[in-house]
Amino acid sequence: MDVLVVGAGEIGRWVADTVSADDAPIDASVAFTDRDPTVAADAAADRDARTVDADGDTSHDAVCLAVPMSAVPAAVAAYAPRAERAIVDVSGEMTDAVAAMREHAPDLERASYHPLFAPPRVPGNVAVVVDEAGPTVESLSAAVEAGGNDVFETTADEHDEAMETVQAGAHAAVLAWRLAGEDVREEFHTPVSAALDDVADTVTEGSPAVYAEIQRAFDGADEVAEAAAAIAAADDGAFADLYERARGDREGRDRLE
Protein backbone atom coordinates (compact mmCIF):
# COMPACT_ATOMS: atom_id res chain seq x y z
CA MET A 1 0.00 0.00 0.00
CA ASP A 2 1.34 3.41 -0.99
CA VAL A 3 0.42 6.02 1.64
CA LEU A 4 0.82 9.76 1.16
CA VAL A 5 1.15 11.56 4.49
CA VAL A 6 0.22 15.21 4.13
CA GLY A 7 1.90 17.11 6.96
CA ALA A 8 5.26 15.93 8.25
CA GLY A 9 5.00 17.04 11.87
CA GLU A 10 4.89 14.77 14.90
CA ILE A 11 1.53 13.19 14.11
CA GLY A 12 2.37 12.72 10.44
CA ARG A 13 5.59 10.98 11.41
CA TRP A 14 3.67 8.79 13.87
CA VAL A 15 1.36 7.76 11.03
CA ALA A 16 4.32 6.88 8.83
CA ASP A 17 6.03 4.88 11.57
CA THR A 18 2.79 3.08 12.41
CA VAL A 19 1.81 1.95 8.93
CA SER A 20 5.36 0.96 7.96
CA ALA A 21 6.36 -0.75 11.20
CA ASP A 22 7.93 -4.22 10.89
CA ASP A 23 5.02 -5.77 12.80
CA ALA A 24 2.33 -3.86 10.91
CA PRO A 25 -0.11 -6.18 9.13
CA ILE A 26 0.31 -4.29 5.86
CA ASP A 27 3.19 -3.77 3.47
CA ALA A 28 3.19 0.01 3.22
CA SER A 29 5.45 2.52 1.53
CA VAL A 30 5.28 6.13 2.67
CA ALA A 31 5.59 9.44 0.89
CA PHE A 32 5.64 12.74 2.76
CA THR A 33 4.53 16.14 1.60
CA ASP A 34 4.40 19.36 3.56
CA ARG A 35 3.93 23.06 2.87
CA ASP A 36 7.56 23.33 4.03
CA PRO A 37 9.57 20.96 1.82
CA THR A 38 12.46 20.93 4.30
CA VAL A 39 10.18 19.48 6.97
CA ALA A 40 9.05 16.73 4.60
CA ALA A 41 12.65 16.03 3.64
CA ASP A 42 13.66 15.80 7.31
CA ALA A 43 10.85 13.35 8.05
CA ALA A 44 11.73 11.18 5.05
CA ALA A 45 15.45 11.20 5.81
CA ASP A 46 14.88 9.47 9.15
CA ARG A 47 12.74 6.75 7.54
CA ASP A 48 12.50 4.53 4.51
CA ALA A 49 10.28 7.15 2.87
CA ARG A 50 10.29 9.61 0.01
CA THR A 51 8.95 13.10 -0.57
CA VAL A 52 6.57 14.39 -3.22
CA ASP A 53 5.65 17.89 -4.30
CA ALA A 54 2.75 19.41 -2.40
CA ASP A 55 1.41 20.81 -5.66
CA GLY A 56 2.14 17.71 -7.69
CA ASP A 57 -0.18 15.19 -9.27
CA THR A 58 1.11 11.90 -7.85
CA SER A 59 -1.44 9.18 -7.08
CA HIS A 60 -1.46 7.02 -3.97
CA ASP A 61 -3.53 4.16 -2.59
CA ALA A 62 -4.32 6.19 0.53
CA VAL A 63 -3.92 9.82 1.53
CA CYS A 64 -3.65 10.66 5.23
CA LEU A 65 -4.06 14.28 6.23
CA ALA A 66 -1.98 15.17 9.30
CA VAL A 67 -2.59 18.91 9.17
CA PRO A 68 -4.04 21.43 11.63
CA MET A 69 -7.78 21.10 12.21
CA SER A 70 -8.59 24.39 10.53
CA ALA A 71 -6.71 23.30 7.40
CA VAL A 72 -8.48 19.97 6.89
CA PRO A 73 -11.37 21.05 4.62
CA ALA A 74 -9.02 22.79 2.17
CA ALA A 75 -6.56 19.90 2.36
CA VAL A 76 -9.29 17.40 1.56
CA ALA A 77 -10.26 19.39 -1.52
CA ALA A 78 -6.63 19.63 -2.62
CA TYR A 79 -5.55 16.03 -2.01
CA ALA A 80 -8.66 13.91 -2.60
CA PRO A 81 -7.86 13.73 -6.34
CA ARG A 82 -4.53 12.10 -5.46
CA ALA A 83 -6.16 9.24 -3.51
CA GLU A 84 -7.09 6.09 -5.42
CA ARG A 85 -8.68 4.04 -2.64
CA ALA A 86 -9.01 5.94 0.62
CA ILE A 87 -8.63 9.30 2.28
CA VAL A 88 -8.32 9.68 6.05
CA ASP A 89 -7.31 12.35 8.51
CA VAL A 90 -5.77 12.44 11.97
CA SER A 91 -6.47 16.08 12.79
CA GLY A 92 -8.57 15.77 15.96
CA GLU A 93 -11.81 17.39 14.75
CA MET A 94 -14.30 15.13 13.01
CA THR A 95 -17.49 16.97 11.99
CA ASP A 96 -15.94 19.25 9.39
CA ALA A 97 -13.38 16.64 8.36
CA VAL A 98 -15.98 13.98 7.60
CA ALA A 99 -18.21 16.49 5.81
CA ALA A 100 -15.31 17.61 3.59
CA MET A 101 -14.35 14.03 2.75
CA ARG A 102 -17.94 13.19 1.83
CA GLU A 103 -18.08 16.21 -0.46
CA HIS A 104 -14.75 15.83 -2.20
CA ALA A 105 -14.20 12.04 -2.06
CA PRO A 106 -17.64 10.45 -2.41
CA ASP A 107 -16.26 7.37 -4.18
CA LEU A 108 -13.40 6.68 -1.77
CA GLU A 109 -13.13 4.89 1.54
CA ARG A 110 -13.15 7.54 4.28
CA ALA A 111 -12.24 7.67 7.95
CA SER A 112 -11.30 10.24 10.56
CA TYR A 113 -8.86 9.14 13.27
CA HIS A 114 -7.89 10.97 16.44
CA PRO A 115 -4.88 9.70 18.41
CA LEU A 116 -5.73 10.83 21.94
CA PHE A 117 -2.10 11.36 22.89
CA ALA A 118 1.03 13.13 21.81
CA PRO A 119 3.40 10.85 19.84
CA PRO A 120 6.00 10.72 22.65
CA ARG A 121 3.35 8.98 24.77
CA VAL A 122 2.36 6.15 22.46
CA PRO A 123 0.56 3.83 22.49
CA GLY A 124 -2.87 4.98 23.58
CA ASN A 125 -6.50 5.31 22.58
CA VAL A 126 -7.39 6.23 19.01
CA ALA A 127 -10.94 7.32 18.20
CA VAL A 128 -12.19 6.66 14.68
CA VAL A 129 -15.22 7.53 12.60
CA VAL A 130 -15.40 5.16 9.64
CA ASP A 131 -17.57 7.05 7.18
CA GLU A 132 -17.08 4.66 4.26
CA ALA A 133 -15.59 1.29 5.14
CA GLY A 134 -13.40 -0.86 2.94
CA PRO A 135 -10.25 -2.97 2.90
CA THR A 136 -7.85 -0.01 2.86
CA VAL A 137 -9.35 1.64 5.93
CA GLU A 138 -9.54 -1.76 7.63
CA SER A 139 -5.83 -2.27 6.95
CA LEU A 140 -4.94 1.17 8.30
CA SER A 141 -6.94 0.52 11.48
CA ALA A 142 -5.27 -2.87 11.86
CA ALA A 143 -1.86 -1.21 11.59
CA VAL A 144 -2.78 1.28 14.31
CA GLU A 145 -3.99 -1.55 16.55
CA ALA A 146 -0.82 -3.56 15.85
CA GLY A 147 1.11 -0.64 17.32
CA GLY A 148 -0.51 -1.37 20.69
CA ASN A 149 -3.22 1.27 20.38
CA ASP A 150 -6.86 0.77 21.34
CA VAL A 151 -8.91 1.83 18.31
CA PHE A 152 -12.54 2.52 19.17
CA GLU A 153 -15.37 3.66 16.93
CA THR A 154 -17.45 6.74 17.63
CA THR A 155 -19.53 9.31 15.78
CA ALA A 156 -18.40 12.77 14.75
CA ASP A 157 -20.94 14.38 17.09
CA GLU A 158 -19.97 12.20 20.08
CA HIS A 159 -16.27 12.78 19.49
CA ASP A 160 -16.45 16.55 19.08
CA GLU A 161 -18.72 16.91 22.12
CA ALA A 162 -16.26 14.86 24.19
CA MET A 163 -13.39 17.09 23.07
CA GLU A 164 -15.15 20.05 24.71
CA THR A 165 -14.49 18.34 28.05
CA VAL A 166 -11.31 16.33 27.60
CA GLN A 167 -9.41 18.89 25.54
CA ALA A 168 -10.78 22.44 25.46
CA GLY A 169 -12.14 22.42 29.00
CA ALA A 170 -9.28 20.45 30.53
CA HIS A 171 -6.59 22.57 28.90
CA ALA A 172 -8.33 25.82 29.89
CA ALA A 173 -8.63 24.69 33.50
CA VAL A 174 -4.99 23.62 33.72
CA LEU A 175 -3.62 26.73 32.01
CA ALA A 176 -5.82 29.01 34.13
CA TRP A 177 -4.57 27.33 37.31
CA ARG A 178 -0.97 27.80 36.23
CA LEU A 179 -1.54 31.44 35.21
CA ALA A 180 -3.43 32.30 38.40
CA GLY A 181 -0.98 30.65 40.77
CA GLU A 182 2.20 31.96 42.32
CA ASP A 183 5.54 30.20 42.58
CA VAL A 184 5.79 28.30 45.85
CA ARG A 185 8.50 26.29 47.52
CA GLU A 186 8.38 22.60 46.65
CA GLU A 187 7.66 21.73 50.29
CA PHE A 188 4.33 23.56 50.17
CA HIS A 189 2.84 21.42 47.41
CA THR A 190 0.00 19.13 48.33
CA PRO A 191 -0.74 15.91 46.42
CA VAL A 192 -3.41 17.81 44.47
CA SER A 193 -1.28 20.83 43.58
CA ALA A 194 1.74 18.68 42.78
CA ALA A 195 -0.36 16.61 40.37
CA LEU A 196 -1.74 19.76 38.77
CA ASP A 197 1.76 21.17 38.45
CA ASP A 198 2.86 18.02 36.62
CA VAL A 199 -0.15 18.22 34.29
CA ALA A 200 0.52 21.91 33.63
CA ASP A 201 4.10 21.03 32.70
CA THR A 202 2.76 18.46 30.23
CA VAL A 203 0.32 20.92 28.65
CA THR A 204 2.92 23.65 28.28
CA GLU A 205 5.61 21.46 26.72
CA GLY A 206 3.86 21.47 23.35
CA SER A 207 3.14 24.05 20.69
CA PRO A 208 0.81 26.95 21.59
CA ALA A 209 -0.54 26.86 18.04
CA VAL A 210 -1.88 23.33 18.58
CA TYR A 211 -3.64 24.31 21.80
CA ALA A 212 -5.02 27.47 20.22
CA GLU A 213 -6.51 25.35 17.43
CA ILE A 214 -8.26 23.21 20.03
CA GLN A 215 -9.73 26.25 21.76
CA ARG A 216 -11.00 27.61 18.44
CA ALA A 217 -12.46 24.28 17.39
CA PHE A 218 -14.30 23.30 20.56
CA ASP A 219 -16.33 24.98 23.27
CA GLY A 220 -15.47 24.17 26.86
CA ALA A 221 -13.35 27.01 28.21
CA ASP A 222 -16.36 29.23 28.92
CA GLU A 223 -17.99 26.49 30.97
CA VAL A 224 -14.83 26.13 33.04
CA ALA A 225 -14.78 29.88 33.66
CA GLU A 226 -18.46 29.82 34.66
CA ALA A 227 -17.86 26.95 37.08
CA ALA A 228 -14.87 28.73 38.64
CA ALA A 229 -16.93 31.90 39.05
CA ALA A 230 -19.74 29.92 40.69
CA ILE A 231 -17.29 28.36 43.14
CA ALA A 232 -15.73 31.74 43.95
CA ALA A 233 -19.14 33.32 44.62
CA ALA A 234 -20.71 30.40 46.53
CA ASP A 235 -21.73 30.56 50.18
CA ASP A 236 -21.35 27.45 52.31
CA GLY A 237 -24.59 25.90 51.13
CA ALA A 238 -24.01 26.59 47.46
CA PHE A 239 -20.44 25.36 47.72
CA ALA A 240 -21.59 22.12 49.32
CA ASP A 241 -24.03 21.63 46.43
CA LEU A 242 -21.33 22.26 43.84
CA TYR A 243 -18.96 19.95 45.70
CA GLU A 244 -21.49 17.13 45.72
CA ARG A 245 -22.14 17.63 42.02
CA ALA A 246 -18.41 17.40 41.38
CA ARG A 247 -18.18 14.25 43.49
CA GLY A 248 -19.46 12.32 40.55
CA ASP A 249 -23.19 11.65 40.84
CA ARG A 250 -25.30 11.85 37.68
CA GLU A 251 -26.30 15.48 38.26
CA GLY A 252 -22.68 16.37 38.82
CA ARG A 253 -21.84 15.37 35.27
CA ASP A 254 -24.18 18.05 33.92
CA ARG A 255 -22.83 21.48 33.09
CA LEU A 256 -23.85 24.46 35.13
CA GLU A 257 -27.01 26.12 33.85
Instruction: Report DSSP letters for 20-85, one per residue.
Output: T-TT-SS--EEEEE-SSHHHHHHHHHTTTEEE--TT----EEEEEE-S-GGGHHHHHHHHGGGEEE
* Residue spans per domain, the chain: 2-154, 158-253
* Count of other CB atoms within 10 angstroms of residue 252: 13
Q: Which CATH architecture has domain 2-154?
A: 3-Layer(aba) Sandwich (3.40)
Per-residue pLDDT of the chain (257 residues; tens, 9 = 90+): 999 999 999 999 999 999 999 999 999 999 999 999 999 999 999 899 999 999 999 999 999 999 999 999 999 999 999 999 999 999 999 999 999 999 999 999 999 999 999 888 899 999 999 999 999 999 999 999 999 999 999 999 999 999 999 999 999 999 999 999 999 999 999 999 999 999 999 999 988 999 999 999 999 999 999 999 999 999 999 999 999 999 875 554 555 55
Looking at residue 46, its pLDDT comes to 86
Question: Which residues on adjacent β-strands are paired with residue 50?
Answer: 31
Rounded distance between C-alpha atoms, residue 67 and residue 91, angstroms: 6
Looking at residue 63, its pLDDT comes to 98
pLDDT tens, position by position, 71-102: 999 999 999 999 999 999 999 999 999 999 99
Looking at residue 256, its pLDDT comes to 56
Looking at residue 254, its pLDDT comes to 57
Would you give the distance in Å from CA 78 to the centre of its chain? 21
Rounded distance between C-alpha atoms, residue 168 and residue 84, angstroms: 35
pLDDT tens, position by position, 37-67: 999 999 999 899 999 999 999 999 999 999 9
